Amino acid sequence: TNQARVASLQDNINRTTRTIQYPRKPDGKPVYTSEFFAENVFHLPQIAKALPKPAYASFLKQMRGRQALDKGTADAVAHAVRIWAMDRGATHFTHWFQPQTGTTAEKHDAFLSLKSSFSPNGEEVTAIDAFSGTQLLQAEPDASSFPSGGMRTTFEARGYTVWDTTSPMFIQEGPHGTSVLYIPSVFISYNGDALDEKTVLLRSTSQVGKAACELLNLIDPVPVGAQPRVSHVFTTLGTEQEYFLVDRSLYSLRPDLKHTGRTLIGNLPPKHQQMDDHYFGRMPSKVMATMSEAELELFRLGVPVKTRHNEVAPQQFELAPIFEEASLAVDHNLLTMDVLSKVAHKNKLKVLFHEKPFKGVNGSGKHCNWSMSTDRGENLLDPTVKPETNYRFLLVLVSILHAVQQHGGLLRTSIASSSNEHRLGACEAPPMIVSVFLGEHLTEVLNSIEESRPIKNFSVPEIQSIKLGGTVLDVKVASLPNISRDLTDRNRTSPFAFTGNKFEFRAVGSKQSPAFPVTVLNAAVASSLQDVTAALREQMGSKPYPSDADKVAVIKKFISSTKAVRFEGDGYSEAWIHEAERRGLPNIKTSPEAFEQLLNPVHSNMLTKLGIFTATELQSRHMILQERYAKDILVEATTLSTMLNSQILPAAFEYRGVLAQNVHLLKDIEGEESGPELVALQALTPVVKDLQTAIANLDDVVHKMHHVGDDVVAEAKFACAHVLPAMNEARAVADKLEVLTADKYYPIPHYSELLWF
Ligand code: ADP
Ligand code: MG
C-alpha cells in the first residue's frame, strides 16, 4: 500500500529547514568569504614557510617538472603538513585518487604510530604521531578490486598512489570535530601504467601545452638568442554541474533510484517543465539551505564556486565554479559532487547526478568550458584588438576545428556511458554527432578568409552601444567584431560550441568525471596543433619565421579542410542526421560502438604517439568501459524486474482483488454483473497480464545475457540491443498500470511527488 509514501510526504512537510551559521567574527560581524576561502587547503605559501629556502626552491622545481620529490624535501613537507592538519583536528591522512570508476577513492590511515624502546627493564611502547615523507609521497592500496581491464592479474595486483604535487593537499571535516588530510594522488601500477583518470589527464595537459608553446613561439619572433616568449601553456576548465535534488525519504522508497540512479518506471505528471517556470526561478528554501552549506564548505576547500541557479526541469539545479587549471578543476569538480551529496544528506535530501533520472524532462549535463592559457594569463581563445594576436587566435581556432574533424569519434567515446545514452539526443540535450558551433560572426570571419574577400562589417566601432529603456550602456567589443554577440547567439543543440572566448563541450554527462573528456580533447588538440605547426613550417620554407601571408595560407587551408564539422543549424533535426551523413561525420548511436573507437587506429595511434596512453592502457580502458556498461544495464534490468514483480504487480493484484470482490458483492445487491467496477476490472486485467508477459520476457533476456559468453564486448552489445528494449517494453506496460491502479495501493512515489517539494 501507499502508507510508507504518505508517511514520507508528511515527514517532508513537517520538516524544518536546517540552518547553518555563516562564519562570524568575535564581534558578531560576518567574516568575508575571501577571508576564509581555502582555509582548509595547505598552500604553497605554507610549504614555503615550512621549508628552508633551498628546499622550497627544489620543491618548486620538482613540482613544475613533475619529478619525484627527494626524500629530504618530502620529509620536511610531510612534517609541516602533519602539524598544520593536526592543529585543525586531523587524525588521519589519505591518498585521494580517481580509479576508473567515475568517482574518487580513499583509504584512511591514522597519524598514530607506536614506538618501541628497549631497556634492561624490557620493551616500552609509546604512542606517537608520525607522518613521513615516504608516506606522503606514496601509498600502496590493495589495487586488486579496482577496475584494471585485465591489465593486471590479481597476483601482481600492486598499485601505487603517488602524490600529485600540482594539486594542493586539504583537510575535510568529518564527524565529532575530527578531520582527514587529503593528498590528491595519481594511481599507477607496479609497471607505471595508468590505472586512473588523472595520470592520463596530466600527460595530456603537458602534451597540449608543449604543442601550443611550439606554435606560439614559431609565430611570435624574438631576437636571435633571446628566450622564447612563451614557456608554459596550460588548459583551463570550468565545469557547469547540473543535478537534481529530491526528498531523501521518498528517494529511499524507490529501489530504482537507489540502485541505478534513475527512475526505471513512472509517468510524467500533467504539469512538468512545459511552462518553463523553473528555469532561473526562486530556489526553494531547502535547496538554498543545501546549496549555501555546500558552498561554505567548498569555499573553505578552495573551490571557487561562483554561480547557482534553477535549471529547466523541476527540481533541477546548476552550480558552476570560476575556471581553473584543468586538473585542479577536475579535482574540484569531484570534490564539489562529494560535498553536495554529503550536505544534501544532512538536509534530508538526495542529489541525483545521473544524466537522465526522469523520463520526459531534461537530463543533466556537465558543460566543460575549455580553453588554453599562457603562464602570463593570456587566453588563447580570446579574440583581441591586435591583429597579430588574431593570427594566433585563428591558428588556435582552426587547430581545434581540425582536432574535432580528426577525432570527433574519440570525443564521442569520451562522453559515452549507459546513463548519458538516455540523455544524448533527447529533450534539449546535444546529439551524438560531434560538430562545432562557432556562431554567426565567427563563421563569417572564417568564410571570408576562405573566400579571400573582406569580412562583412569588419570595421565595427570598438564601443557598441546598447539602448536600454533610454539609458545607454557601453559595452566593450573586441576587434574581431561582434564576437560578443555570440554570447547571446546560443545554440543549445550543439555538442561543442564556441562561447566568446572558450569552447563549451556540452555533451559531457553530469555524472561522469570530466577527466576523460578533457584528456581526449587535450590529446586531439595537441596532435592538431602539431599538424598546424608542421603546415606552417612547410609553408614558410627556409625562412626563420612565417610571414603573415604564410599564416593566412595555413589558416585558409585548415578552414577548408575542416568545413564538415562546422554546423550552425538545429542539431536535433532529422535533416541534420542526413546532412551529417553526407558530410561523412560519424554518427555513433550506441555506447559499445563508441567505446570501440578507442581501438580505431586513427585515434589509438594519435594517443600512443603522444604518449598519453600506451596500447595496453587503451585496451584495458576499452574493456573497463564495455564491462561497466554491461554491468550497469544488468543492474537496471534486475532492479526493474524485482520492482515489477515484488511491488507493482502485487499492488495491481490487490486492487484487482478489491474490484473483483466489489463486482461480486454488487451483483448480489443489484442482481446483474455490470457496473463501473466491472469496467475498471476489465481495463486492468489485460494490462496486468501484459506486465507479467513483459517481466517474463525481460527475465529471459537477462538470462540470455548471462550466457553470451566471456566476451564483455558481446555482452555490452547484447545489453544494448536486447536488454534495453525489453526494459522499455516492460516500462511502457508498468506506466499504464500506474494510471490504472488506485493510488491507495501504489507502493512507490510518483513523479508528481518526487519532482515537487
Ligand atoms: P556561460 O553562461 O556563457 O556558459 P559563464 O561565464 O557562466 O558562461 O561561464 C561558464 C563557465 O565557463 C564558468 O565555469 C567559467 O568560469 C568558465 N570559463 C570562463 N572562461 C573560461 C576559460 N577561458 N577557460 C575555461 N573556462 C572558462
Ligand atoms: Mg554555459
Alpha helices in 275-325 (DSSP H): 285-300
Q: Which atom of ligand 1 is nearest to the CA of 238?
A: 14
| Of 563, 588, 613, the domain-final residue | 613
The identity of residue 679, as a single letter, is: V
520 and 409 within one domain: yes
Task: Evaluate whether 186 touches 659 at the Cβ level (below 8 Å).
Answer: no
Distance, C-alpha 270 to centroid of its chain:
31
Task: Say if ligand 1 is within 6 A of residue 241 CB.
Answer: no
| Range name among 19-28, 82-91, 473-482 with the lowest pLDDT average | 473-482
677 and 565 within one domain: no
Q: Is residue 409 part of a domain?
A: yes
Q: At residue 480, does pLDDT exceed 50?
A: no
Q: At residue 1, does pLDDT exceed 80?
A: no
Q: At residue 272, does pLDDT exceed 80?
A: no
Q: Which residues, in sequence order, are CB contacts of 494 under 8 Å at separation 6+?
A: 430, 435, 436, 437, 506, 567, 571
- Rounded percentage of the chain residues whose pLDDT exceeds 70: 91
Q: How far apart are CA 201 and CA 184, in angstroms?
A: 14
Beta bridge partners of 225: none
CATH number at residue 408: 3.30.590.10
| pLDDT value at residue 428 | 62
Task: Say if ligand 1 is within 6 A of residue 506 CB.
Answer: no
Task: Say if ligand 1 is within 6 A of residue 238 CB.
Answer: yes
Task: Say if ligand 1 is within 6 A of residue 236 CB.
Answer: yes
What is the Cβ-side half-sphere exposure of residue 241, based on CA atoms within 13 angstroms? 33
638 and 570 within one domain: no
644 and 595 within one domain: no
User: Which grid cell sits at 93?
Assistant: 591522512
Q: Which atom of ligand 1 is nearest to the CA of 371?
A: 24
| Host domain of residue 596 | 203-220+230-265+276-439+491-613
Q: At residue 38, does pLDDT exceed 80?
A: yes
Q: Of the candidates 445, 428, 454, which has an alpha carbon nearest to the alpha carbon of residue 559?
A: 445
| pLDDT value at residue 26 | 92
Q: Which of 208, 235, 502 to mutate to test the pocket of ligand 1 (most atoms within 8 A of CB)?
A: 502
Question: pLDDT tens digits for 704-752?
Answer: 999 998 899 999 999 999 999 999 999 999 999 999 999 999 999 999 9
Reported ipTM: the value is 0.97
Q: Which atom of ligand 1 is nearest to the CA of 307?
A: 7
Q: Of the candidates 276, 280, 321, which has an alpha carbon nearest to the alpha carbon of residue 298?
A: 321
553 and 658 within one domain: no
- Residue 490: pLDDT band (50, 70, 90) is low
> Helices 724-740 and 676-706, interaxial angle, to 10°?
160
Q: Is residue 175 part of a domain?
A: yes
Q: How far apart are CA 204 and CA 220, in angstroms?
A: 24
Q: Of the candidates 33, 46, 53, which has an alpha carbon nearest to the alpha carbon of residue 79?
A: 46
CATH number at residue 159: 3.10.20.70
- Rounded percentage of the chain residues whose pLDDT exceeds 90: 65
| pLDDT value at residue 485 | 38
Task: Evaluate whether 629 touches 705 at the Cβ level (below 8 Å).
Answer: no
| pLDDT value at residue 190 | 82
- Residue 154: pLDDT band (50, 70, 90) is very low
Q: How far apart are CA 498 and CA 487, in angstroms?
A: 9
User: Ligand 2 centroid to 517 CA: how many Å?
Assistant: 16
Query: What is the mean pLDDT of the segment spanning 366-383?
Result: 94
User: Ligand 2 centroid to 367 CA: how many Å?
Assistant: 6
Q: At residue 387, does pLDDT exceed 60?
A: no
Q: At residue 24, does pLDDT exceed 60?
A: yes
678 and 563 within one domain: no
Q: Of the candidates 509, 489, 514, which has an alpha carbon nearest to the alpha carbon of residue 499?
A: 489
Taking the CA of 321 as reference, the closest ligand is 1
Q: At residue 296, does pLDDT exceed 50?
A: yes
90 and 46 within one domain: yes
319 and 173 within one domain: no
173 φ/ψ angles, rounded to the nearest 5 degrees: -75, 140
User: Ligand 1 centroid to 209 CA: how many Å?
Assistant: 20
Task: Evaluate whether 381 touches 396 at the Cβ level (below 8 Å).
Answer: yes
Q: Is residue 135 part of a domain?
A: yes
Q: Is residue 461 part of a domain?
A: no
150 and 91 within one domain: yes
What is the Cβ-side half-sphere exposure of residue 93, based on CA atoms within 13 angstroms? 29
214 and 181 within one domain: no
637 and 570 within one domain: no
Q: Is residue 235 part of a domain?
A: yes
Q: At residue 481, does pLDDT exceed 90?
A: no
Q: Is residue 591 part of a domain?
A: yes
**Could you tell me which residue, 455 or 418, shows the higher pLDDT?**
418
Mean pLDDT, the chain, rounded, equals: 88
Q: Is residue 445 part of a domain?
A: no
| pLDDT value at residue 225 | 83
| pLDDT value at residue 469 | 32
Q: How far apart are CA 470 and CA 475, in angstroms?
A: 15
- Residue 455: pLDDT band (50, 70, 90) is low
| pLDDT value at residue 189 | 87
**Could you tell me which residue, 198 or 175, shows the higher pLDDT?**
198
- Residue 388: pLDDT band (50, 70, 90) is low
Question: pLDDT tens digits for 577-614?
Answer: 899 999 999 999 999 999 999 999 999 999 999 999 99
How many domains, the chain?
3
560 and 635 within one domain: no
Residue with cell 527540481: 315
CATH number at residue 671: 1.20.120.1560
- Residue 93: pLDDT band (50, 70, 90) is very high
